[in-house]
């Protein structure tokens, strides 16, 4: 009882928190080693972890209650500020490196042990950063920024490797998608026109730009992927914050922190980079001369819709919002907003209607992700009748009929809004956690300092964000979505634009000045910094790949089946990156029947699309099929992506296994080799096409 009597409340709460963390961390240690301890065995790692938790707690209590005892060390470190900052960064990074790269991190893996080590690292780092005698909350903010940025960068670095097989469900085939635009020379594809790939031209051109380099490896591709999911976010943040508004004048360190936080916040989606680049153009074009601004906004509109049809509203909306709120004249702001919005919208529709005034390549394949309608007409059949019927019935884009067609083409899974097996918190709770700290900070600032915008601007901001949120939620519940927040991309970027406008209008200066003296405010800011990377930090583990022997064996068996058939009629449904990066011989490419494309059509329950595939299976067109391991197993409801799995089994796995049988399966590598059956096989409960 005396411990907390007449003590500062923050220090008392912090002490109580550390005692709680210590107890639960030690409990987690005993739980992990219960079997050994029950047999009288003391494992060295048990002693090491227990000692680290106990002595770490003692050290932390000294930092909180008796920092004067460390004054000699403090005086030494104060003379070497650079060394102090390096040590602070090293303390933050150390547990992340432990969990991301070191194989002996497994005993430390329990969530409570992670929470303890992360909190200890943040506390020590904050003390190293701070200059005041007491523990300053603002120093926790700096430590949190170092920790979160390090967690994000380390999580990206750890996936850069030369492992030849796909890491994740779609990674390998995505790499193949990216390669076919600028890397067509990598494939033996005799047909004229582009190689059909299930990817929008915006992403394909951006990620595929790396194939303009000679001899691109899969490690290079993974590094480029990591760059595209980090650096453009930083550039967008810098572009939005580089304009000094009235009463801004924030310290450089605060401005740099805001740019870094933009990267952290957008990675919660994650937000696809083409949308970030389109809106980066919008942000860069503001307050430029009209003869520069109008073409830039038109280009932004075209690039957005080039990447995804639903993004057509983003450049016009954000350009108009920036022009309206940043206008120096209330009389002209409506005119400015309408002009810039129309410029971006005209650019989008000019791209969509490019065929009206540009020569069309007769061999060109429609961009499969521009619209649901175009996706349906881009796959060939024997006589084209199914394609023509679908094409004739498809409504014009961006009409009410098209919206209804787009929404009804695939099921809407409203349960994904709430906690579920596919996304544990559910979309609504996940979104609330992601945006609550930012919204709270903006609201507190507005109530205390008052944002200098009028009621009209406030109403338009709220309406814009509500509309974008509604669109994102609707797209998130379509089958195939709802596993994260990436379909709320326009809403999340909308919040960034609003925060940037507020930052340049005094929010940044107020926040940097208030956070040191206002501990509740500092706690909200710390939450805003840590929340975007908490899931990453708590799931970091060393990337473990299958043994080199089994990986080499899998590649050898694939090469053997190719050689046995002289490379003729080998279908890669999955693992197409093996063709891209030269892990298998150059063979005649069968571009049809790619896994992601098949999954999308399966989710639409689109039987007409699969007619040609079933005909090819019945005729045993393919000498071998390389795919992920297929099985006929319906999961029912309430499992991770169970609805998607069952439709894929219905339209792909079961029909394929009716006519083809596995001769080699490598579950660790996620690959299976199928060859034709001599007789049709009728699995129980399945009707073969």
The answer to whether position 145 is within a domain reads no
- In total, the chain counts a number of residues equal to 689
Please state, rounded to an integer, the average pLDDT across all residues of the chain.
Answer: 85
Calculated CA dihedral for residues 579, 582, 587, 588, nearest 10 degrees:
40
Tell whether the model's pLDDT for residue 304 goes beyond 50: yes
Whether residues 48 and 183 fall in one domain: no
Per-residue pLDDT tens for 659-670?
999 999 999 999
The answer to whether position 385 is within a domain reads no
| Both structure tokens of 29 | 């240690």
Residue that has been written with the tokens 């809106």 in this structure? 279
Q: Identify the pLDDT of residue 638.
A: 67
Among residues 66, 64, 49, the alpha carbon closest in space to that of 17 is found at 64
Per-residue pLDDT tens for 468-504?
999 999 999 988 888 899 999 999 999 999 999 999 8
Q: Identify the pLDDT of residue 356.
A: 55
Among residues 368, 392, 405, the alpha carbon closest in space to that of 600 is found at 368
The whole-angstrom distance between residue 369's C-alpha and the CA centroid of its chain comes to 18
Among residues 174, 185, 205, the alpha carbon closest in space to that of 575 is found at 174
The answer to whether position 515 is within a domain reads no
For the residues 133-137, what does the mean pLDDT come to? 53
Whether residues 648 and 564 fall in one domain: yes
The answer to whether position 184 is within a domain reads yes
Which of 135, 166, 199 is where one domain is finished?
Answer: 135
Range of lowest pLDDT (11-15, 188-192, 213-217): 11-15
| Both structure tokens of 147 | 């920790």
Q: Identify the pLDDT of residue 401.
A: 64
Contact 56, 82 (CB under 8 A): no
Whether residues 116 and 190 fall in one domain: no
Tell whether the model's pLDDT for residue 376 goes beyond 50: no
Q: Identify the pLDDT of residue 395.
A: 65
Identify the band that residue 400 occupies on the pLDDT scale cut at 50, 70 and 90: low
Q: Identify the pLDDT of residue 236.
A: 96
Which of 109, 135, 161 is where one domain is finished?
Answer: 135
Q: Identify the pLDDT of residue 41.
A: 72
Whether residues 74 and 194 fall in one domain: no
| Both structure tokens of 540 | 């970091």
Rg of the Cα trace of the chain?
Answer: 28
Per-residue pLDDT tens for 413-446?
888 999 988 898 999 999 999 999 999 999 999 9
Whether residues 130 and 185 fall in one domain: no
Whether residues 550 and 689 fall in one domain: yes
Quote the CA–CA distance of 361 and 22 in Å, as a whole number. 67
Contact 550, 668 (CB under 8 A): yes
Q: Identify the pLDDT of residue 464.
A: 95
Query: Which segments of 515-606 does DSSP mark as H helices, in order?
Result: 519-539, 548-564, 577-580, 595-603
Whether residues 126 and 186 fall in one domain: no
Tell whether the model's pLDDT for residue 6 goes beyond 60: no
Which of 156, 189, 216 is where one domain is finished?
Answer: 216
DSSP of 494-511, one letter per residue?
Answer: HHHHHHHHHIIIIIHHHH
Percentage of the chain exceeding pLDDT 90: 54
Per-residue pLDDT tens for 537-565?
999 988 889 999 999 999 999 999 999 99
Kindly list the distances between the CA atom of residue 231 and the CA atoms of 15, 227, 575, in Å, as whole numbers in the listed order.
Answer: 39, 6, 28
Kindly list the distances between the CA atom of residue 490 and the CA atoms of 138, 498, 592, in Å, as whole numbers in the listed order.
Answer: 31, 12, 32
Quote the CA–CA distance of 420 and 414 in Å, as a whole number. 11
Q: Identify the pLDDT of residue 151.
A: 96
Angle between helices 607-618 and 385-393 (to 10 degrees): 170
Among residues 373, 451, 436, the alpha carbon closest in space to that of 408 is found at 373
Tell whether the model's pLDDT for residue 132 goes beyond 80: no
Percentage of the chain exceeding pLDDT 70: 85
For the residues 308-334, what does the mean pLDDT come to? 90
Q: Identify the pLDDT of residue 246.
A: 47
The answer to whether position 87 is within a domain reads yes
Beta strands in 189-290 (DSSP E): none
| Residue 196: domain span | 174-216
Q: Identify the pLDDT of residue 55.
A: 78
Tell whether the model's pLDDT for residue 216 goes beyond 70: yes
Per-residue pLDDT tens for 532-544?
999 999 999 888 8
Contact 676, 622 (CB under 8 A): yes
Whether residues 181 and 130 fall in one domain: no
The answer to whether position 193 is within a domain reads yes
Quote the CA–CA distance of 352 and 365 in Å, as a whole number. 15
Tell whether the model's pLDDT for residue 377 goes beyond 50: no
Q: Identify the pLDDT of residue 639.
A: 74
Q: Identify the pLDDT of residue 403.
A: 65
The answer to whether position 478 is within a domain reads no
| Both structure tokens of 85 | 């900052």
Whether residues 112 and 185 fall in one domain: no
Q: Identify the pLDDT of residue 381.
A: 34
* pTM for the whole structure: 0.87
Whether residues 65 and 187 fall in one domain: no
Whether residues 683 and 553 fall in one domain: yes
Whether residues 48 and 119 fall in one domain: yes
Tell whether the model's pLDDT for residue 388 goes beyond 60: no
Residue 358's Cβ-side half-sphere holds a number of Cα atoms within 13 Å equal to 9
The answer to whether position 198 is within a domain reads yes
| Backbone phi, psi, residue 367, to 5° | -65, 115
DSSP of 246-269, one letter per residue?
Answer: TT----HHHHHHHHHHHHHHHTTT
Residue 43's Cβ-side half-sphere holds a number of Cα atoms within 13 Å equal to 15
Strand, coil or helix: what is 188? strand
Q: Identify the pLDDT of residue 147.
A: 96
Among residues 502, 527, 524, the alpha carbon closest in space to that of 515 is found at 524
Work out how many domains the chain is built from and give that number: 3
Tell whether the model's pLDDT for residue 375 goes beyond 50: no
Tell whether the model's pLDDT for residue 245 goes beyond 60: no
Per-residue pLDDT tens for 628-660?
999 988 887 667 788 889 999 999 999 999 999
Q: Which residue has the higher pLDDT, 230 or 39?
A: 230
Strand, coil or helix: what is 324? helix
Helix H or strand E encompassing 391: helix 385-393
Q: Identify the pLDDT of residue 378.
A: 35
Identify the band that residue 70 occupies on the pLDDT scale cut at 50, 70 and 90: low
């Amino acid at each position: 009882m005396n411990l907390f009597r007449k003590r500062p409340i923050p220090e008392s709460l912090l002490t109580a928190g550390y005692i709680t963390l210590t107890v639960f961390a030690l409990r987690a240690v005993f739980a992990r080693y219960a079997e050994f301890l029950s047999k009288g065995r003391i494992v060295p790692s048990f002693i090491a972890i227990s000692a680290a938790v106990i002595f770490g707690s003692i050290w932390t209590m000294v930092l909180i209650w008796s920092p004067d005892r460390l004054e000699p060390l403090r005086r030494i470190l104060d003379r070497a500020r650079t060394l102090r900052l390096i040590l602070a960064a090293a303390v933050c990074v150390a547990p992340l490196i432990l969990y991301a790269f070191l194989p002996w991190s497994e005993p430390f893996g329990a969530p409570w042990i992670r929470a303890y080590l992360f909190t200890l690292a943040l506390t020590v780092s904050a003390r190293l950063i701070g200059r005041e005698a007491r523990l300053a909350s603002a120093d926790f903010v700096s430590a949190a920024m170092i920790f979160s940025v390090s967690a994000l960068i380390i999580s990206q670095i750890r996936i850069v490797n030369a492992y030849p097989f796909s890491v994740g469900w779609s990674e390998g085939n995505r790499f193949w998608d990216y390669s076919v635009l600028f890397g067509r020379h990598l494939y033996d594809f005799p047909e004229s026109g582009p190689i059909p790939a299930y990817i929008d031209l915006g992403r394909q051109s951006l990620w595929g730009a790396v194939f303009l380099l000679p001899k691109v490896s899969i490690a290079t591709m993974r590094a480029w992927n990591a760059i595209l999911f980090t650096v453009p976010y930083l550039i967008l943040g810098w572009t939005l914050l580089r304009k000094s508004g009235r009463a801004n004048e924030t310290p450089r360190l605060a401005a740099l922190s805001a740019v870094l936080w933009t990267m952290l916040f957008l990675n919660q989606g994650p937000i696809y980079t083409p949308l970030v680049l389109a809106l980066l153009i919008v942000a860069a074009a503001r307050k430029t001369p009209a003869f520069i601004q109008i073409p830039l906004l038109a280009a932004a509109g075209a690039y957005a819709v080039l990447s995804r049809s639903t993004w057509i509203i983003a450049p016009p909306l954000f350009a108009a919002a920036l022009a309206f709120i940043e206008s120096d004249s209330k009389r002209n702001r409506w005119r400015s907003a309408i002009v810039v919005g129309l410029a971006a919208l005209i650019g989008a529709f000019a791209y969509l209607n490019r065929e009206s005034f540009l020569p069309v390549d007769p061999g060109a394949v429609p961009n499969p992700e521009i619209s649901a309608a175009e996706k349906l007409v881009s796959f060939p059949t024997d006589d084209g009748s199914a394609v023509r019927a679908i094409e004739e019935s498809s409504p014009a884009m961006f009409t009410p009929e098209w919206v209804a067609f787009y929404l009804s083409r695939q099921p809407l899974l409203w349960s994904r809004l709430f906690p579920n097996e596919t996304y544990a918190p559910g979309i609504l709770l996940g979104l609330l956690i992601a945006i609550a700290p930012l919204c709270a900070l903006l609201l507190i600032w507005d109530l205390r300092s008052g944002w200098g915008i009028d009621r009209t601007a406030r109403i338009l901001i709220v309406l814009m964000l509500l509309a974008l949120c509604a669109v994102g939620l609707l797209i998130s519940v379509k089958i195939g979505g709802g596993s994260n927040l990436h379909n709320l991309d326009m809403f999340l970027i909308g919040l960034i634009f609003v925060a940037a406008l507020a930052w340049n209008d005094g929010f940044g200066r107020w926040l940097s000045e208030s956070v040191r003296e206002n501990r509740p405010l500092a706690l909200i800011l710390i939450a805003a910094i840590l929340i975007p990377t908490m899931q990453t930090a708590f799931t970091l583990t060393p990337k473990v790949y299958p043994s080199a022997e089994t990986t080499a064996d899998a590649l050898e068996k694939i090469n053997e089946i190719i050689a046995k058939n002289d490379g003729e009629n080998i279908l890669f449904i999955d693992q197409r990156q093996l063709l891209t990066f030269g892990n298998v011989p150059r063979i005649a490419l069968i571009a049809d029947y790619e896994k992601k494309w098949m999954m999308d059509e399966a989710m639409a329950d689109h039987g007409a699309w699969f007619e040609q595939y079933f005909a090819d299976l019945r005729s045993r067109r393919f000498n071998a099929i390389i795919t992920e391991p297929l099985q006929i197993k319906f999961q029912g409801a309430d499992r991770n992506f169970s609805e998607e799995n069952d439709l894929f089994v219905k339209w792909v796995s079961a029909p394929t296994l009716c006519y083809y049988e596995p001769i080699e399966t490598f579950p660790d590598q996620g690959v299976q080799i199928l060859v034709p059956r001599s007789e049709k096989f009728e699995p129980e409960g399945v009707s073969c096409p």
